[in-house]
Structure 1
Amino acid sequence: MQDSQLEAENLHLRRQLEALLREARANEEKMRRFDELEHRLIGARSVLELLRLLLSDYGHAFGIESVTLALVDADGETGRILDSELRDGAVLNDLVLLPSAAPLEALYGTARKPWLGRFEAPSHARFFNAPPRPPRSVALLPLSRHGELIGSLHFGSCDAERYDPAAGTNLLERLASIVAVCLESVLNQERVKLAGLTDLLTGVHNRRYLEHRCGVEIAQARRYKHALACLFLDIDKFKQINDAHGHPAGDAVLRAVGHSIQSQLRAGDTIARYGGEEFVVLLPQTAAQHAREIAERIRARIAAMPCTADSGQPLEVTISIGLAMLGAVPAGQEPALVAAELMAAADRALYRAKAGGRNRVEFEAA
């Protein structure tokens, strides 16, 4: 009897030991995957690469059904950086850009610690972008730098017990710290790049960026047989505005016109200040009729735009637009040469718009 009892106890102990060993091996494997991902996060060279690591690779590596991210983007800068990196109108469905940190402050309060527990729709739904099936348990990680909330990383699981409020959060806190530092680093890198490709007065892209982007869009149009429209835009009688009201008034007009043009464009379109009072717009995957409608909409919006000099005197601002469509591209022709011909055709159309009375749109095939 005693032997059988000892045997049962030994069996029980062996099973406990085996369970502990399995758990230790699982934890060791989890740490290996975590360390591997940590190194990849630190090595990310762009915002887009970092976001894809977080939103896709992390979920796959740890079997998480839903991974989403919210970033504070008060001045729209992160959105502009992503627009410059994303191609063909692509979007990141699991990323939410917030105009302020207020929703995150309401979510975390003053604790600024990871929150684990059951999914609560009133508080959490906006951060999970309406998935087909809401998660049953969630882990919410605040991302902060220098005492300020810059974002929030969210994990959602179909297992109601996966994110237990009683579980330790040391690993999640470490992950949140790494992600916050990496985000700040890549955003600073992108700001430096963007500064070299942005017109400082108007905030739109500069000629250097346009030359690069034009080559990319022509290559895409050639490869996928897409239409590509080019608009050349010039502010009418701009010298008279400068002469009569001074350069500060002229600068204000340039900023207003650049903003107005940009407001009429889609995420995948390109606007750049070409020089002086001239702007160029590229409209990929846009047929001639649609491009003309966009050009007319821009022209009408600027003509109706309220503008005043420092003296309070109203300024009449209009714009002339030349439109050209990318024609058939001979095989082997350099994209830079094709780009020059496309913009030259748009410039000829602009000249006709000026000669025809200004504040109008003219078209010429490239």
Structure 2
Amino acid sequence: MTIPHSVLERLKNNEITARKFHEIEISILTILNFQDFIEKLLFEISSKFSVSYTWLSIIDESGISKYLQNIQDSTLLRRSTTFLSKEQFSKITQNRLKPILANKNLNGFRSLFPEASEYEIGSIAIAPITLDGQIVGSFNQADKNISRFEPGIDTSLLEQLALKVSLCLSNVTAHEQLKFLAFHDPLTGLLNRRVMERILEREFQRSKRYHIDLTVLFLDLDDFKSINDTFGHDNGDMALCHTADCLKSLKRDSDIVARFAGDEFVVILPSTNKSQAENYINRIKQKLASSALAANNTTFHVKLSHGLASVFEKGMDSSAILLKTADKRLYIAKQNK
């Protein structure tokens, strides 16, 4: 029996495609950080298959969204990653796990495209990716050719690639989470005490060397025990996270916000004198006063006490003394309330 030439050609093409997918899998298998993983994946797909456009669409509510949105120094990632709500993603994909191919009515997929992209798309392939069994987004390919991803063509190899990407993504996420926890407080996402102390020492030495202002704020929540006792520890955690969000939202890029311990926070303010630091903490207190938290059919406000110390005050001979002085002044402020 003679096998038709067209069948042999298709088998040969499938074999070539499978080999390219295997090469891509090998190239991303050992990468353990998001930036390198995604950059390598997008580059390999685009170059090996000559696809016009490759990018990722990530669900905002997914576990990897915050990690990817924190990567600011990769031009490729900013250009090739888009974020959308779970509702938007579900509307497009209907929560399907199998790849979706389309070459008509492509405007319906517009929310998957990166912001400000000017893709000239004739056809598109959307391969959902998962993390721990949950859909977190999709790996997308698009081409100017309307036949490239025509509905009805075999997507088995694309499914295999999506599965491999999902498995690799799980490894990368686990590694990134461990790295994140080594430097950050797991509840608020702020830097932890150990990292803060290292940064404070660095900024202290820089301030002394170049005679630049440096002020440290030490603050904690008023009646935090009462919040826990009255509204429960979950709402106590909510109060801590709300405080952390306020501190971050009003800081400059150069400022450092950290959770010290319990309900205590430290803010390192480079190139900032005591008067400017007071302005900052007053804005924080105003924001907290204007944003009530809902709990147990009622509301409550977070209130803060603070102490601050400047590097140019007498006796500030080390970063440890600077921090301890701010802490003492916090204690005095609470005593005087």
- TM-score scaled by length of structure 2: 0.69
Q: Aligned partners of 1:259, 1:195: CA distance in 2, in Å?
A: 18
Q: Aligned partners of 1:118, 1:228: CA distance in 2, in Å?
A: 60
1:272 Cα deviation from its structure 2 partner: 1.8
Q: Aligned partners of 2:52, 2:216: CA distance in 1, in Å?
A: 45
Indicate the residue corresponding to 2:218 in structure 1.
Answer: 233
Listed one character per residue, the Cα deviations across residues 219-270 of structure 1 (whole Å, up to 9, x for unaligned) are xx99xx9x9976523126x4x5537985957945434422332343578865
Indicate the residue corresponding to 1:122 in structure 2.
Answer: 107
Listed one character per residue, the Cα deviations across residues 157-183 of structure 1 (whole Å, up to 9, x for unaligned) are 223332222432121111111112222
The code of the aligned residue for 2:22 comes to: D
Contact 2:121 2:143 in 1 (8 A): yes
The code of the aligned residue for 2:244 comes to: G
Q: Aligned partners of 1:85, 1:212: CA distance in 2, in Å?
A: 22
Contact 2:228 2:236 in 1 (8 A): no
* 2:225 pairs with 1:242: yes
Q: Aligned partners of 2:54, 2:20: CA distance in 1, in Å?
A: 17
User: Structure 1 47/244 Cα, relative in aligned 2: closer, same or farther at 3 Å?
Assistant: closer
User: Structure 1 59/72 Cα, relative in aligned 2: closer, same or farther at 3 Å?
Assistant: same
1:207 Cα deviation from its structure 2 partner: 1.5
User: Structure 1 38/88 Cα, relative in aligned 2: closer, same or farther at 3 Å?
Assistant: closer
User: Structure 1 242/270 Cα, relative in aligned 2: closer, same or farther at 3 Å?
Assistant: same
Contact 1:204 1:272 in 2 (8 A): yes
The code of the aligned residue for 1:135 comes to: I
The code of the aligned residue for 1:279 comes to: F
Q: Aligned partners of 2:89, 2:297: CA distance in 1, in Å?
A: 43
1:350 Cα deviation from its structure 2 partner: 7.0
User: Structure 1 21/108 Cα, relative in aligned 2: closer, same or farther at 3 Å?
Assistant: closer
Q: After the TM superposition, which residues 1-366 of structure 1 pair with which residues of structure 2 at under 5 Å, given as runs?
A: 24=12, 30-74=17-61, 77-82=63-68, 86=72, 92-100=78-86, 102-109=87-94, 111-118=96-103, 120-129=105-114, 130-144=116-130, 148-211=134-197, 231-235=216-220, 238=222, 242=225, 246=229, 251-252=236-237, 253-265=239-251, 270-281=256-267, 288=272, 292=277, 294-306=280-292, 317-320=303-306, 322=308, 341=318, 345=322, 348=325
Q: Aligned partners of 2:248, 2:78: CA distance in 1, in Å?
A: 21
Question: How many pairs are equivalent?
Answer: 316
Indicate the residue corresponding to 1:334 in structure 2.
Answer: none
Indicate the residue corresponding to 1:8 in structure 2.
Answer: none
The code of the aligned residue for 2:245 comes to: H
2:78 partner SS: coil
Contact 1:89 1:267 in 2 (8 A): no
1:92 partner SS: helix
1:349 Cα deviation from its structure 2 partner: 6.0
The code of the aligned residue for 1:70 comes to: S
Q: Aligned partners of 1:317, 1:90: CA distance in 2, in Å?
A: 42
Q: Aligned partners of 1:82, 1:305: CA distance in 2, in Å?
A: 29
- TM-score scaled by length of structure 1: 0.65
Q: Aligned partners of 1:184, 1:46: CA distance in 2, in Å?
A: 11
User: Structure 1 32/312 Cα, relative in aligned 2: closer, same or farther at 3 Å?
Assistant: closer
Same amino acid, percent of matched pairs: 21
The code of the aligned residue for 2:26 comes to: H
1:200 Cα deviation from its structure 2 partner: 4.6
Q: Aligned partners of 2:264, 2:330: CA distance in 1, in Å?
A: 14
User: Structure 1 96/229 Cα, relative in aligned 2: closer, same or farther at 3 Å?
Assistant: farther
1:120 Cα deviation from its structure 2 partner: 3.5
Q: Aligned partners of 2:226, 2:11: CA distance in 1, in Å?
A: 78
Q: CA RMSD in A?
A: 4.8
Listed one character per residue, the Cα deviations across residues 112-132 of structure 1 (whole Å, up to 9, x for unaligned) are 322223264431111112413
Q: Aligned partners of 1:308, 1:110: CA distance in 2, in Å?
A: 33
Contact 2:103 2:122 in 1 (8 A): yes
Q: Aligned partners of 2:51, 2:215: CA distance in 1, in Å?
A: 44
1:96 Cα deviation from its structure 2 partner: 2.5
